[in-house]
Amino acid sequence: MSGPLFIQQGSSPDWWLSPAIWVTTVSDTTTKVTNPIAGEKYTVWVQVQNKYPDPVDSGWNLFVCWTIPTAGDLKVSSITSGQILNGFLSSAGPQGSAIGVPIPGGSTVNLQAATTWTPSYENHGHECLIAMAYAEQAIGGLPVTVLQGNAPWTDVYTIAQHNLAVLPAVHKMGKRFQYPFLVCNAAHQEHGYVITARQAPLSEIAEFLPGIRGGRRVIDHPGKVEHLGIVPSRHPDPTTLQAARATLSSHRIPGDSCQEFTLGGSLSEGNALIHVTQSLDGRVVGGLSVLVMSEEA
């Protein structure tokens, strides 16, 4: 074997938008789907790259999991349980098998997860996908206890995350939208995080637009989000959500736990990309993105 293998993360600073992880329908494995439908079956793909001149023909494994959209580090023990643990949900345990296809030096291979993925009705089917390629000596026990989406590429494993949701602004809500998500603290001690939502240029997700209704034309209809805010609750009162601020400073989260939040705002026309980040001591440690589309888009 050679290695290490590499899975591309999203462009800095939005490392949670990896272009190397995507889904397709089971019947059409060539067309990428950016907004999967809850209850339908999908095939998960991961693009793995061998950056070295020697081929890789054995000794590596691919781990794929999916979770409720979550900012922050995730405990592997929570994922492998396949159950709700400390507010964290995994739709399935680790998937994948040893990489048996040769990966020539300096090339990339698209690998298919061992089982299909059926999004749950949590967040209307929008869920976070995480993939890790790791060395054979770690099979039977992953080389890390915590999955960090922005973890550096090492000689033992590489991790990437795809955390992009697509949702409409609802007319009957006055073109308002709301999106529940989790913020996790995988450390043993309590931390105070800064949780921030901000609107970003639509061009930052240009490579994902072919799998979205409207395709690349989405960029041609930018909109402006108003009343953007975050509330530390999954079911906030509408008045509270409308008055919420876009930044929560020093929000305390106990160790080894997750908390529920809701992102909200209004979009009268066009489309808008929102990044939500979780920061600790001035460093971004978690993130997710939401593409909001008005009915006229």
Tens of pLDDT, residue by residue over 99-144, are 666 788 899 989 888 778 887 766 666 778 888 888 766 655 677 7
Q: Which tokens in the block code for residue 75?
A: 């405990």
Looking at the predicted structure, is the pLDDT value of residue 296 above 60? no
pLDDT value of position 81? 39
pLDDT value of position 64? 81
DSSP state of 90: B
Q: DSSP E strands: which ranges in the chain?
A: 5-6, 21-25, 32-33, 42-50, 60-67, 70-71, 74-75, 107-112, 128-135, 146-147, 157-162, 164-168, 176-185, 191-200, 226-231, 247-253, 257-266, 271-280, 283-293
The CB density around residue 286, as the number of other CB atoms within 10 Å, is 27
Q: What is the mean pLDDT of residues 243-253?
A: 94
What is the C-alpha separation between 259 and 39, in angstroms, rounded? 25
pLDDT value of position 102? 75
pLDDT in tens, 153-163: 888 888 999 99
List the end-to-end C-alpha distance of the chain, in Å, as a whole number.
Answer: 49
Looking at the predicted structure, is the pLDDT value of residue 173 above 50? yes
Handedness of CA 211, 217, 219, 224 (dihedral sign): negative
pLDDT value of position 274? 97
Looking at the predicted structure, is the pLDDT value of residue 203 above 90? yes
Give all domains of the chain, ordered by start, each with its CATH number. Answer: 5-163 (2.60.40.10), 166-293 (2.60.40.10)
Burial of 149 (0-12, 13-18, 19+ CB in 10 A): buried
Highest mean pLDDT among 16-20, 68-72, 89-93: 16-20
pLDDT in tens, 266-286: 998 999 999 999 999 999 999
Residue predicted with more confidence, 40 or 1 = 40
* Cβ pair 260, 182 in contact under 8 A: yes
Q: What is the mean pLDDT of residues 175-181?
A: 90
pLDDT value of position 297? 42
Question: pLDDT grade, residue 93 (50/70/90)?
Answer: very low
Average confidence score pLDDT of the chain: 83
pLDDT value of position 116? 81
What is the C-alpha separation between 176 and 183, in angstroms, rounded? 22
pTM of the model: 0.89
Q: Which tokens in the block code for residue 7?
A: 């899975």
Sort strands 32-33 and 21-25 into parallel, antiparallel or unpaired.
antiparallel
Question: pLDDT grade, residue 91 (50/70/90)?
Answer: very low
Determine what percent of the chain is predicted with pLDDT higher than 70: 84
Residues 6 or more apart whose CB falls under 8 angstroms from that of 274 comprise: 197, 198, 199, 200, 225, 228, 263, 265, 289, 290, 291, 292
What is the C-alpha separation between 259 and 280, in angstroms, rounded? 16
